[in-house]
Amino acid sequence: MRVLFATPEMDGYVQTGGLAAVASALPRALRLIADVRVIIPGYPDVLRRLGTTEVVAHYPAEGLMPQAQLLRGEAPDGLPIYAVQCAALFEREGGLYCDAAGRDWADNDLRFARFASIAASVAAGQGDPNWAADLVHANDWQSGLVPAYLEWRGSKIPSLLTIHNLAYQGLFPASSLGRINAPASAFQVDGLEFYGKVSFLKAGLHYSSHLTTVSETYAREITKPEHGCGLEGVLRRRAGKRELTGILNGIDESWDSRTCPALVKPFAPGCWEERQANADHLRREFGLAIQRGPLFGLVARLVHQKGVDLVLAAADAIVRAGGQIIVTGKGEPQFEQALDQAQRERPDAIAAAIRFDPGEARRIFAGSDFIMVPSRFEPCGLSQMYAQRFGALPIGRRTGGLADTINDGETGFLFQQPSTESFLGGILRAFATFGNKKHLNRMRKSAMTQSFSWSQSADVYGQLYKNLAGTA
């Protein structure tokens, strides 16, 4: 089976969040059962890291979307990767979706419509000679228009859209319709119209053959108003027709504490002295006092969804009880500033690294006793899985993928409400466990021996692909 995997980011090339990790690992896990090829926008980092490429197709301007070309290259392991090269849209200073000041690019509608339009063309055989897709797997709003362009062009190729985070919807003024060469008839409730705006995500929800989310619990949550972000109606309809499936994300095999090169001392389950060496190194690395109290880590985007305000509200209580805190990540300015201030006030107990370095993040997972994941909602989450593989017990809210991957009281702790009081309840349970080393180490061992392999999830995707393509 030939599958085109459309993604706006991918580990090893360009990344802002968990989607990049999924887009790197899942296509590789699926290669055992399908000819999977990835298509991604031609950002500068992608073009540089992809290295030698071949131009395989040219595309004329469409609507207000400029002309572009399709490049074909390969990852080091041979995974085929297509890059949509359009200098006017993708080769610019700043982030993937925002400029250097954090403002959304004003032409994001053109940027990701151009990407989606070409992805649809490649799938239909109007790209790489002698290759066409049996199925397209799109991801999030940035590729939400791929199923729409297939539909508008009369293509019968089945499509699947994975919702990694429903809160990001790709909303644009109604005037975008003409800019992206979409038919006027599509601007309706049963199309891409969303409260008078154009929604790229809703286009994917409506036109795709099937929908998936990244955990079973989140698949249920988004059909209800609390987590449906205004789209719960269409999601309930798709779920009622059995066209919405929750498939838990996995993590790649590099998350092995016995072999990870980023750690100062690799360790196996049960080797707690070696793990303690990582904790001591981590404290020195971040300038914290060497002590034997618990170390609490936070590795996350610093945004409201992730409950960073709850961590700030609980910080004094954690420090007063003898704990220390290490935070790394980037995000909303008010949280970055508040964490900087907390570090200045208690440099012996609180460290805030307003950045993201993958090796540094791994050392935080390997050296922290507990990883805080107080998300208000969490489609899947990867931090809690990384933490468990490295022997750090996650403290997470009972929501989405956190509820599906943390065994409360066995491999971590779950709390109910997105409130400081409820979160502190989880923190107190962690302190109590830390005081009972036998119980702590038993939980650590249980956490480290959990399997979060992609193979099981890939099997579910593979069967879904076959059903959609009619080859089951």
DSSP 8-state assignment for residue 66: P
Q: What is the largest CA-CA distance in the chain?
A: 67
Please, what sign has the CA dihedral across residues 344, 347, 352, 357? positive
99-139 pLDDT per residue, tens:
888 889 999 999 999 999 999 999 999 999 989 999 999 99
**Encoded tokens for 29:** 């896990």
The pLDDT, as a whole number, for residue 353 is 96
Q: Decide if 61 is inside a domain.
A: yes
Task: Kindly state whether residue 119 falls inside one of the protein's structural domains.
Answer: yes
Choose among 5, 42, 34: nearest CA to 122.
5
**Ramachandran sector of residue 108 (left: φ over 0; alpha: ψ -120 to 50; beta: rest):** alpha
Check residue 200 and give its pLDDT: 98
DSSP class of 288: P
Three-state DSSP at 224 gives: coil
- Tell me the backbone φ, ψ of residue 121, rounded to 5 degrees: -65, -45
Q: In angstroms, what CA-CA distances link 255 with 15, 251, 286, 339, 363?
A: 18, 7, 22, 28, 11
pLDDT digits (tens, 9 = 90+) for 369-417: 999 999 999 999 999 999 999 999 999 999 999 999 999 999 999 999 9
Residue 266 domain flag? no
Per-residue pLDDT, 101:
83
32 plus 79 within the same structural domain: yes
Give how many domains the chain has, as a whole number.
2
Give residue 65's domain range.
Answer: 2-250+455-469
The reply to whether 235 and 183 lie within a common domain is yes
- The DSSP code sequence of 336-358 is HHHHHHHHHH-TTTEEEE-S--H
125 and 54 in a common domain:
yes
The model's confidence at residue 17, banded by pLDDT at 50, 70 and 90, is confident
Q: What is the pLDDT of residues 50-92, one digit of tens each?
A: 999 999 999 999 999 999 999 999 999 999 999 999 999 999 9
Evaluated on CA atoms 182, 184, 187, 189, the torsion sign reads negative
340 belongs to a structural domain: yes
**What's at 203, amino acid-wise?**
A
pLDDT at 471 over 80: no
pLDDT for 234 beyond 90:
yes
CATH number at residue 339: 3.40.50.2000
Distance (Å) of CA 467 to CA 159, 238, 335, 470: 11, 16, 45, 5
Q: Are residues 62 and 204 in the same domain?
A: yes
Q: Are residues 125 and 241 in the same domain?
A: yes
pTM of the entire structure? 0.92
**Same domain for 157 and 51?**
yes
CB neighbours of 230 closer than 8 A, spacing ≥ 6? 194, 195
pLDDT of residue 171: 97
Under the banding of pLDDT at 50, 70 and 90, the label for residue 253 is confident
DSSP 391: T
For the residues 418-441, what does the mean pLDDT come to? 97
Handedness of CA 186, 189, 192, 196 (dihedral sign): positive
Tell me whether residue 162 is in a domain.
yes
- With bands split at pLDDT 50, 70 and 90, how would you rate the model's confidence at 252? confident
CA distance 165 to 196: 22
